[in-house]
Amino acid sequence: MNYDVIIVGAGPGGIFAAYELVKANKNLKVAVFESGHALNNRRCPIDGEKVKSCINCKTCSIMSGFGGAGAFSDGKYNITNNFGGTLYEYIGKKRALELMQYVDEINLKYGGEGTKLYTTAGSRFKTLCIQNDLHLLDASVRHLGTDINFVVLQNLYNHLENKVDFYFDTPVQMVEKTENGYKIITEKGEYLCNNCIISVGRSGSKWMETVCEALNISTESTRVDIGVRVELPATVFAHLTDELYESKIAYRTDKYGDKVRTFCMNPKGSVVNENTNGIITVNGHSYEDPAKQTENTNFALLVSKHFSEPFRDSNGYGESIARLSNMLGGGVIVQRFGDLIRGRRSTQSRIDEAFITPTLQATPGDLSLVLPKRILDGIIEMIYALDKVAPGTANEDTLLYGVEVKFYNMEVAVDKNLESVHKGLYIIGDGSGITHSLSHASASGVFVARKIAEKH
């Protein structure tokens, strides 16, 4: 089969690239290859009863399939250059913001109308934070919620299914250069195209590495963020989340000068397992539908670690720490803040006696046996700093789940068009290492689609 464009990966990057390609030129022959399932077949077997923890499915339905890693996410589309990726370094701040706004319009058109857009502009919490040595980052956040996010994906699929050839459950094994373009090799056959967009996200990071090696594309990996997911009664952060929904707060520690930040805040949400390449880490989400909401809010506290020469495997470092928690706890470990401070492990009875009900069943244990001292010290310092703007954060019963790791894909060398050294081979989304969010990944898809459409 010959295509004008083949897209590898049906996450937000791939979906928005496909959307924009067929919008710009309906005559383009476009195919999308996805190792995971179609949206309606995506189901994580963990039901809390028969299957209580991850059973390592062949393809993880949380991370893979139509919608990518974002399909069951909280659907928070951050419209900002302050976090979520460094797309602006390639395409400019103005264009990056315009594209994120464009993505927002499409999300509204396909089912997201009526959802709330929060903004930090003019917020009184900015002052409160700065008075306490904390920094609230500027952003607008469209909160679709897990349920509406799914509806938007369904509508986008319905819109695309007759315009684009989708190949689900079809991992691409290799991309080879041909005289006029690229050969996409899968178990089911080989396909040719003039342009190839690779958008394989975090779950495709290892595969991306092999492709870069085979095609001689340079890469760099120097950053990883490691920390815990904090869960506390929703009332503790209600004054912030009611107004801002998602607040990104950054702090520099006194002790080491390390940067710690809040990440992925889920008011009235649930803590969930995440499986990345067989390693179980923790994440969180929340629903727009009040019936599915909980009494707790959760968010990650992450310490950024940048490595310098000669160490180049920052993800390997993060994976080793996550493996350690898996080794000790058989998965994710949960500990009460009070127990951590007292230097003792949490036990099931201490968790049961707490004034908060955990939303994830994790193994009670001791995070100080898992996290390096420097990282743990940073987290504890930040919890006390947050306690000043949200009293109750440093309560004995505050739950810490570990570990949460934010793996940054190695950065792949691309130019300002997001094109690799090989003409017609574009690398976008989280798999490029340039984006780390729904909005930036989607915007990168629209950007390359327009670049390709200009050539036809």
- Can residue 200 be called a binding residue for ligand FAD (CB under 6 A)? yes
CB of 412 to ligand FAD, least distance (A): 12
CA-CA distance, 34 to 7, in Å (whole number)?
9
Q: Tell which one of 111, 112, 402, 431 touches ligand FAD (CB under 6 A).
A: 431
Q: Tell me if 407 sits within 8 A of 315, measured CB to CB.
A: yes
Task: Return the biggest CA–CA distance within the chain.
Answer: 67
- Can residue 437 be called a binding residue for ligand FAD (CB under 6 A)? yes
Written as six digits, the tokens of 140 are 């607008």
CB of 48 to ligand FAD, least distance (A): 17
- Can residue 3 be called a binding residue for ligand FAD (CB under 6 A)? no
CA-CA distance, 144 to 141, in Å (whole number)?
9
For residues 113 to 142, the per-residue mask of contacts with ligand FAD, x marking binding by CB under 6 A and - elsewhere, is ------------------------------
Q: Tell which one of 142, 223, 268, 285 touches ligand FAD (CB under 6 A).
A: 285
Stretch that binds ligand FAD, among 107-115, 153-161, 391-399, 438-446 (CB under 6 A): 438-446
- Can residue 33 be called a binding residue for ligand FAD (CB under 6 A)? yes
CA-CA distance, 424 to 421, in Å (whole number)?
9
CA-CA distance, 365 to 370, in Å (whole number)?
10
CA–chain centroid gap for 116, Å, is 20
- Can residue 228 be called a binding residue for ligand FAD (CB under 6 A)? no
Q: Tell me if 176 sits within 8 A of 183, measured CB to CB.
A: yes
CA-CA distance, 161 to 178, in Å (whole number)?
28
- Can residue 64 be called a binding residue for ligand FAD (CB under 6 A)? yes
- Can residue 288 be called a binding residue for ligand FAD (CB under 6 A)? no
- Can residue 227 be called a binding residue for ligand FAD (CB under 6 A)? no
- Can residue 8 be called a binding residue for ligand FAD (CB under 6 A)? yes
Q: What single DSSP character describes residue 109?
A: I
CB of 89 to ligand FAD, least distance (A): 17
- Can residue 282 be called a binding residue for ligand FAD (CB under 6 A)? no
Nearer to ligand FAD, 403 or 438 (CB): 438
Beta bridge partners of 184: 175, 191
Q: What single DSSP character describes residue 48?
A: S
Q: Tell which one of 5, 6, 13, 18 touches ligand FAD (CB under 6 A).
A: 13
Nearer to ligand FAD, 144 or 383 (CB): 144
CA-CA distance, 424 to 174, in Å (whole number)?
16
Nearest to 141 by CA among 28, 247, 230: 247
Written as six digits, the tokens of 135 are 């920094």
Q: Which residues bind ligand FAD (CB under 6 A)?
A: 8-14, 33-36, 63-65, 68-70, 73-76, 78, 84, 171-172, 199-204, 207, 264, 274, 283, 285, 429-431, 436-439, 441
